[in-house]
Amino acid sequence: MQKKYLLLLPFVIWWFPLVGPVIEGFIIGYSSRKATESLLYSLYSSVIGSLLTSFILIYFIKIPLLGNFFPFLVILLNVIGSIACIAISYLMSSRGVYATITPSGTEIQFHVNNMDEIDNIIKDYVDLSMCSKPTYKFISDDNIEISRDCSNVRVVYDVKRDGKKYLVTLKIESL
């Protein structure tokens, strides 16, 4: 999903109490895949959605049976929805593992806390004893590309800093 559509999402989906913000958290977390970016988008979405629904539901819609309880209920549901949206989008983007299978191989994207965890995760996919020594390519201060040639595959992983964690994009290509 393109980023400009994420900015319009609270106007469409926030009208469904609790369900809308949860769905929106899933969409933002899956589409951004960077923890800081998804946190900012979900925060923006929560503020816009909460303000919009609170303003319209409190000032324009009057339900006489509920009396003064209706504005409290609207604000309570918006606060709970905002917390759910932010938490779900952050957890999906920071703890999710995304895999894509292409004709040339596999691409896997995940987060790690430190560089030592990368080899432990790669061991699940490739036997590292059959691989050559890693070759490092420094792209920028926050971006490193590491490649290894194994018996029948080439393993290339791109490590980028994402807040306090590292975003790893692992590509396993057949030779």
- pLDDT by residue (tens digit) across 50-92? 999 889 888 887 777 667 788 888 899 999 999 999 999 999 9
pLDDT of residue 137: 94
Q: How many domains does the chain have?
A: 2
d(CA 52, CA 174) in angstroms, rounded, equals 51
Give yes or no: residues 18 and 76 share one domain.
yes
d(CA 161, CA 112) in angstroms, rounded, equals 10
φ, ψ at 104 (rounded to 5°): -90, -15
Give yes or no: residues 10 and 75 share one domain.
yes
Q: Is the dihedral of CA 4, 7, 12, 16 positive or negative?
A: positive
Position 1 pLDDT exceeds 60: no
pLDDT of residue 21: 93
Give yes or no: residues 42 and 61 share one domain.
yes
Give yes or no: residues 142 and 164 share one domain.
yes
Please enumerate, as own/partner, the contacts of 23-27 that have beta carbons within 8 Å and a separation of 24 or more. Answer: 24/49, 24/85, 24/89, 25/84, 25/85, 25/86, 25/87, 25/88, 25/89, 25/92, 26/88, 26/89, 26/92, 27/1
Give yes or no: residues 88 and 105 share one domain.
no
Helix (H, G, I), strand (E, B) or coil at 124: coil
Other beta carbons within 10 angstroms of residue 23's beta carbon come to 17
Give yes or no: residues 25 and 39 share one domain.
yes
Tokens at 58, concatenated: 């409190």
Task: State which residues form the domain around 125.
Answer: 98-174
pLDDT of residue 2: 62
Report field, pTM of the whole predicted structure over 0.85: no
Give yes or no: residues 112 and 88 share one domain.
no
Residue 101 corresponds to which amino acid? I
- Of 60, 95, 130, the last residue of a domain is 95
Asked if 42 and 34 touch (Cβ cutoff 8 Å), the reply is no
pLDDT of residue 65: 67
Give yes or no: residues 52 and 78 share one domain.
yes
